[in-house]
Structure 1
Amino acid sequence: MTSEQSSPPDSISPRWIKRPEGSNWGDFGPNDQRGRLNLLTPAKVLEGIAEVKVGQSFCLSLPLDLPGGNVLNARRHPPVLRPTIRNGRFNVNYALRQDSPQLTDVMSDDAVLLYTQYSTQWDGLAHVGQLFDADGDGLPEPLYYNGYRAGIDVEAPVGEASPYVTVPESHARALGIEKMAETGVQGRGVMIDLHAHFGREHRLVGLDDLEAVMASDGVSVEPGDMVCLHTGFAEMLIEMGGEPDPHKLEHSCCVLDGRDDRLLDWISSSGLSVLVADNYAVEAHPAGACDAPEHSAVPLHELCLFKLGIHLGELWHLTPLANWLREHHRSRFLLTAPPLRLPGAIGSPTTPVATV
């Protein structure tokens, strides 16, 4: 990671005087809200399209009612589908001749209460920030990527803390997930198949393991690539059928070691545009012990979301694609994975599609 802390000379920001060590704040412009998605250039899209050889597509989303329950995260719950109301009746199997006898149509319509990061998802850049002294006055303030500020750019609702409170304005005035959606999120995906080498062993993966797997499988990552890590965790969720076993899940499958500085350096220097895994948080959560007096509980999230603007994908269903790629001695594919274009949202479900 770079050690520069001061503002780049051609990218003076109205929000900060100094930037975090190892960050790229300002490199894509003083008001950038896309982060490393800026590396998904038309050339990268063409590289992804060039990987389409047979035209077969894979849905990389879990059913959005999985994992099931809320044992993985007590604050997140499965989606709740409800019918809309029409003339005081539930608008499902609604015969229009109830309103006009000559009409033959039957209508159904519904609504959903959806926790945006419950299942297959994108973490937006307003998901994890840090306390950092960007003003150089000795007083750290809560900030997000590129110096966007809590309370100004990312607002919390006022009033009773209820999951059903109606907030009159968007949470994220900046860094909302719609900024990601506007890019199309399409380019070349690269699969790193940890499961093929370590199975469902619970393993903390650092740079040594990652490089060994990549070398064994002939995988390379170039700037702008969208990197996907297959661990088998999402496949276990499917097998559990909506009744996840938290103890078994906690002791299964690979997770990245967010305390491995060499691994973090690789993420930074590789130029990858997004980082995706089929597990709960990409990295071990909580991370291992740290000797520093002040530190992040989620250091990989700190690096990716806060410092570099790398969106994180979690709980993707990668097993069928990974198995196909291995069978055909491939690791690259076209990936299309926009989030919902929901202004102000902090995260979003996604239904990614891989084409090979």
Structure 2
Amino acid sequence: MRWRQRPAGSNWGDFGPDDQLGRTNLIGPEQVRKGVQEVREGISLCLSLPLDYPGGNVLNARRLPPQLRPTRREGIPYVNFPLGHVYPGATDVVSDDQVLLSLQYSTQWDSLAHVGALFDPDGDGQPRTVYYNGYRGHEHILGPQDHGIPARDGDGAAARYQPVCCAGRAPDESVARALGVEHLAVKGMQGRGVLVDLERAYGTDFRDIGYDELMRAMERSGASVEPGDMLLLRTGFAELVLSMQRQPDAHRLHHSCAALDGGDEKLLQWITDSGIAALIADNYAVERHPPRRVPEDGAPYPVLPLHEHCLFKLGLPLGELWYLKELADHLHALGRTRFLLTAPPLRLPGAVGSPVTPIATL
């Protein structure tokens, strides 16, 4: 077994010792049928931003817009390419392309390999790099370097450490041998979605949403969730991103709209108790980032507490930067909050995230 003790509040082992699906196990045939029963009008809505939004890399310096390029054969780009050059007399003209894509640049799924934690799974006092259900960094989640475990100096600040190259691995190679996004693709990520419109309840002012605020918004709209449902939160953030025409204003974006307060323990407990199978928002990171509450005594803490709770402890995938305005408007006009959601990620083995083109059917 990969662990002798599991994190407090986690469900490790509840779905089996080798489970890699986490709470999406709760999306079974009954939940799919419930989703299908919400299809009445025959309306299908795309819930994805164009994948070259938000534009630039001011929201995340690591993630760059997609770069489309033609495929090539013997140095010749295959766009508007007459096949008669290869097959004399042929009348076909071929265009063929490829893309360099940050998998979590735009509308996306976070897989369970996206965020882990430094945790002591063996009970020996030694923290290790661990992910959902005890899967290990450098054993199951592989990268080109072993970054080590940061030590802490007397002031509580992280000490410097020297990354070590992992022998036998290419300089840029990374792969999730466990918990990769392909498991969510095979699962299908199809079932009943429930929308809570935070923008309609609170507007687009900068606001942290804890348990109490979420419950008020759900009560106002008549929304409720059952185990296996996928919960979607509209804040207006994606609409603001679209309005900026690929020239995002980072200061304005970081000081607008609602976001979940990942430091609210009551909210995290509700996520556990609700049985939701996925948590999705139209904003960046779902939760408020960077957090506004940091321990003053230097105690260890997660920078992304909601990510840690959902991905690391519960195996609950997160969706980010979904476009929800048209769906919200239709549901409001119909007096509904539920719909059929179909949102499989790319079946890309070993990836820790994936772009997605979700479809809501009403």
Q: Normalised by the shorter chain, which TM-score bucket?
A: over 0.9
Structure 1 residue 168: Cα displacement:
8.6
Partner of 1:9: none
Partner of 2:264: 260
Partner of 1:234: 238
Cα contact 1:170–1:343 (8 A) shared by 2: no
Partner of 1:326: 332
Query: How far, CA to CA, are the matches of 2:171 and 2:191 in structure 1?
Result: 35
Cα contact 2:196–2:218 (8 A) shared by 1: yes
Query: How far, CA to CA, are the matches of 2:188 and 2:23 in structure 1?
Result: 14
Residue 33 of structure 2 is aligned to residue 46 of structure 1: yes
Cα contact 2:143–2:173 (8 A) shared by 1: no
Structure 1 residue 288: Cα displacement:
2.2
Q: 2:99 aligns with which of 112, 116, 122?
A: 112
Task: Structure 1: give runs of 5+ residues left out of the alignment.
Answer: 1-13
Residue 125 of structure 2 is aligned to residue 138 of structure 1: yes
Partner of 2:149: none
Per-residue deviation, residues 140-194 of structure 1 (Å, max 9, x unmatched): 1110000000010001125999xxx966965100011101111011000000000
Query: How far, CA to CA, are the matches of 1:325 and 1:267 in structure 2?
Result: 23
Query: How far, CA to CA, are the matches of 1:69 and 1:209 in structure 2?
Result: 33
After superposition, the Cα gap between the structure-2 partners of 1:169 and 1:70, relative to the gap in structure 1 and judged at 3 Å, is closer
Matches within 5 A, 1:266-305: 266-291=270-295, 293-305=299-311
Q: Return the letter of the residue paired with 2:314.
A: L
Residue 208 of structure 2 is aligned to residue 204 of structure 1: yes
Structure 1 residue 35: Cα displacement:
0.4
Partner of 1:10: none
Matches within 5 A, 1:1-356: 14-158=1-145, 171-291=175-295, 293-356=299-362
Secondary structure of the equivalent of 2:109?
strand
Query: How far, CA to CA, are the matches of 1:303 and 1:168 in structure 2?
Result: 29
Cα contact 1:259–1:290 (8 A) shared by 2: no
Aligned length, in residue pairs: 340
Q: Which runs of 4+ in 1 moved over 2 A?
A: 158-161, 165-170
Query: How far, CA to CA, are the matches of 1:44 and 1:167 in structure 2?
Result: 43
CA RMSD of aligned residues (A): 1.6
Secondary structure of the equivalent of 1:237?
helix
Which sits farther off after the overlay, 166-175 or 75-84? Answer: 166-175
Which sits farther off after the overlay, 308-317 or 93-102? Answer: 93-102
Structure 1 residue 91: Cα displacement:
0.2
Task: Structure 2: give runs of 5+ residues left out of the alignment.
Answer: 146-162
Query: How far, CA to CA, are the matches of 1:276 and 1:117 in structure 2?
Result: 14
After superposition, the Cα gap between the structure-2 partners of 1:266 and 1:173, relative to the gap in structure 1 and judged at 3 Å, is same
Q: Return the letter of the residue paired with 1:142.
A: T
Secondary structure of the equivalent of 1:238?
helix
Query: How far, CA to CA, are the matches of 2:230 and 2:355 in structure 1?
Result: 17
Query: How far, CA to CA, are the matches of 1:170 and 1:343 in structure 2?
Result: 11
Query: How far, CA to CA, are the matches of 2:328 and 2:36 in structure 1?
Result: 18
Cα contact 2:121–2:128 (8 A) shared by 1: yes
Secondary structure of the equivalent of 2:331?
helix
Secondary structure of the equivalent of 1:182?
helix
Query: How far, CA to CA, are the matches of 2:326 and 2:264 in structure 1?
Result: 29
**TM-score normalised over the length of structure 1:** 0.93
